Amino acid sequence: MTPLTRLIAAQIDAAGPITLADYMGLCLMHPQHGYYATRDPLGAAGDFITAPEISQIFGELLGLSLAQCWLDQGAPSPFALVELGPGRGTLMADVLRATARVPGFHKALRLHLVETSTALRACQAERLTEYSPTWHEQIETLPDLPLFAIANEFFDALPIRQFQRSGDGWCERVIGLSKDGTLTPGLAASGATGALAHRLKDTADGDVVETCPLGTRIATEIGQRIAQQGGSALIVDYGDWRTLGDTFQALQDHATANPYESPGHADLTAHVDFEALAIAAAPARHTRLTPQGVFLERLGATQRAQTLAASLSGEALTAHVGAHRRLTHPDEMGTLFKVMGLYPEGATPPPGLNP
Ligand code: SAH
Confidence (pTM): 0.96
Cβ atoms of 142 and 161 closer than 8 Å: no
Q: Is 86 in the pocket of ligand 1 (CB under 6 A)?
A: yes
pLDDT category at 37 given cuts 50, 70, 90 is confident
Q: Angle at CA 195, nearest 5°, toward 190 and 196?
A: 60
The pLDDT, as a whole number, for residue 288 is: 98
Ligand 1 atom at minimum distance from 51 CA: 7
For 261-314, the pLDDT digits (tens) are 989 999 999 999 999 999 999 999 999 999 999 999 999 999 999 999 999 999
Q: Is 216 in the pocket of ligand 1 (CB under 6 A)?
A: no
Phi, psi (rounded to 5 degrees) for 29: -120, 5
pLDDT higher than threshold 90 for residue 45: no
Residue 177 domain-assigned (yes or no): no
The pLDDT, as a whole number, for residue 44 is: 65
The pLDDT, as a whole number, for residue 72 is: 98
The pLDDT, as a whole number, for residue 304 is: 97
CA end-to-end span of the chain:
50
Residue 205 domain-assigned (yes or no): no
Cα of 89 from ligand 1 centre, angstroms = 10
Q: Is 91 in the pocket of ligand 1 (CB under 6 A)?
A: yes
Q: Is 115 in the pocket of ligand 1 (CB under 6 A)?
A: yes
The pLDDT, as a whole number, for residue 43 is: 65
pLDDT higher than threshold 80 for residue 19: yes
Helix (H) or strand (E) segment spanning residue 148: strand 147-152
Query: What residues are paired with 19 via a beta bridge?
Result: 174
C-alpha 292/C-alpha 339 separation (Å) is 6
State the CB neighbour count (10 A cutoff) for residue 75: 15
pLDDT category at 174 given cuts 50, 70, 90 is very high
Look at 17 and 31; give whichever has higher pLDDT. Answer: 17
Residue 339 domain-assigned (yes or no): yes
Is the dihedral angle over the CA atoms 80, 86, 89, 91 positive or is it negative? negative
Residue to mutate, 116, 150, 221, ligand 1, most ligand atoms under 8 Å from C-beta: 116
The pLDDT, as a whole number, for residue 342 is: 98
Helix (H) or strand (E) segment spanning residue 119: helix 118-128
Cα of 297 from ligand 1 centre, angstroms = 25
The pLDDT, as a whole number, for residue 68 is: 98
Cα of 186 from ligand 1 centre, angstroms = 28
The pLDDT, as a whole number, for residue 42 is: 79
Query: What residues are paired with 109 via a beta bridge?
Result: 79
Q: Is 149 in the pocket of ligand 1 (CB under 6 A)?
A: no
Compute CA 301 distance to the chain's CA centroid, rounded to the nearest angstrom.
Answer: 22
Q: Is 12 in the pocket of ligand 1 (CB under 6 A)?
A: no
In this prediction, residues 146-174 reach a mean pLDDT of: 96
Cβ atoms of 83 and 118 closer than 8 Å: no
Ligand 1 atom at minimum distance from 42 CA: 8
Ligand 1 atom at minimum distance from 156 CA: 9
What is the domain-level CATH number for residue 284? 3.40.50.150
Q: Is 46 in the pocket of ligand 1 (CB under 6 A)?
A: no
Residue 15 domain-assigned (yes or no): no
The pLDDT, as a whole number, for residue 55 is: 97
C-alpha 83/C-alpha 96 separation (Å) is 12
Residue 46 domain-assigned (yes or no): yes
Cα of 39 from ligand 1 centre, angstroms = 12
Residue 321 domain-assigned (yes or no): yes
C-alpha 51/C-alpha 146 separation (Å) is 26
Q: Is 157 in the pocket of ligand 1 (CB under 6 A)?
A: yes
C-alpha 97/C-alpha 60 separation (Å) is 7
The pLDDT, as a whole number, for residue 26 is: 96
Ligand 1 atom at minimum distance from 29 CA: 19
CA nearest neighbour of 140 among 109, 112, 111, 110: 112
pLDDT higher than threshold 80 for residue 46: no
Residue 320 domain-assigned (yes or no): yes
Q: Is 114 in the pocket of ligand 1 (CB under 6 A)?
A: yes
C-alpha 153/C-alpha 143 separation (Å) is 23
Q: Domain tally for the chain?
A: 1
Cα of 108 from ligand 1 centre, angstroms = 25
Residue to mutate, 117, 141, 160, 237, ligand 1, most ligand atoms under 8 Å from C-beta: 117
Q: Is 116 in the pocket of ligand 1 (CB under 6 A)?
A: yes
Residue 186 domain-assigned (yes or no): no
How much of the chain exceeds pLDDT 90, in percent? 88
In this prediction, residues 51-80 reach a mean pLDDT of: 98
Q: Is 50 in the pocket of ligand 1 (CB under 6 A)?
A: yes
Q: Is 42 in the pocket of ligand 1 (CB under 6 A)?
A: yes
Instruction: Quickly list DSSP for 273-285.
Output: EHHHHHHHHTTSE
For 313-336, the pLDDT digits (tens) are 999 999 999 999 999 999 999 999
Cis peptide before 78 (omega within 30 of 0): yes
Q: Is 87 in the pocket of ligand 1 (CB under 6 A)?
A: yes
Parent domain of 316: 35-158+212-242+254-343
For 345-354, the pLDDT digits (tens) are 999 999 999 9
Q: In terms of DSSP bridges, do strands 255-257 and 147-152 run parallel, antiparallel, or are they unpaired?
A: unpaired
